[in-house]
């Protein structure tokens, strides 16, 4: 059901830059509980995946999902570095890498290497320390990409 709801919302977003929904109406449309709509939005429409979510509670409340449009590669890398912050878990780190690959900021090979470096098997098992180390590593990789010539990377991706 989660995949179906996600596909529906992405189809709407493909036709327009943003979608404004009422949780109860979507739940009724898909014959599910409103909390399932929350789950889809909270896990499938994150900033790491290129979406901004705004909500207003109450009787006239809504949830607005906006597909983020990045102006250029440098903006994307800077945004991702800000999003990563001082700590990031493996799932969110993977989302960041996948988004960069989808937007052709990094090559398939770069994505594979970055994903290996994000894998939980490489870390100590202490979540707070692991998330900080993962964050430092990923931010350093992205900062390094900022100083590489974009045209050279695009030629390497071919």
Specify the CATH number for the domain of residue 81: 1.10.1200.150
Query: 130 and 95, same structural domain?
Result: yes
Domain boundary pick from 39, 67, 95: 67
Quote the pTM value: 0.59
**Closest-CA residue to 16 (of 56, 64, 73):** 64
What pLDDT was estimated at residue 157? 53
Query: 87 and 13, same structural domain?
Result: no
Domain count, the chain: 2
Domain boundary pick from 34, 67, 100: 67
The mean pLDDT of 20-39, rounded to a whole number, is: 90
Does the structure show a pLDDT above 60 at 81?
Answer: yes
What pLDDT was estimated at residue 60? 62
What pLDDT was estimated at residue 151? 47
Contacts of residue 12, defined as CB under 8 A and 6 or more positions apart, other chains included, come to 19
**35: containing domain:** 2-67
């Amino acid at each position: 059901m989660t995949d179906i709801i996600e596909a529906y919302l992405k189809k709407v977003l493909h036709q327009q830059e943003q979608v404004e929904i009422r949780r109860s109406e979507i739940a009724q449309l898909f014959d599910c509980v409103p909390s399932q709509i929350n789950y889809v939005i909270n896990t499938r429409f994150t900033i790491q995946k290129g979406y901004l979510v705004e909500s207003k509670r109450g009787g006239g409340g809504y949830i607005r999902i906006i597909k983020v449009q990045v102006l250029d590669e440098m903006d994307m890398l800077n945004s991702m570095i800000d999003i990563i912050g001082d700590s990031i878990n493996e799932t969110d780190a993977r989302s960041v890498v996948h988004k960069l690959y989808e937007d052709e900021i990094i090559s398939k090979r770069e994505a594979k290497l970055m994903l290996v470096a994000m894998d939980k098997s490489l870390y100590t098992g202490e979540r707070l320390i692991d998330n900080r180390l993962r964050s430092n590593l990923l931010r350093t990789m992205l900062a390094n990409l900022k100083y590489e010539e974009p045209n050279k990377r695009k030629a390497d991706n071919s």
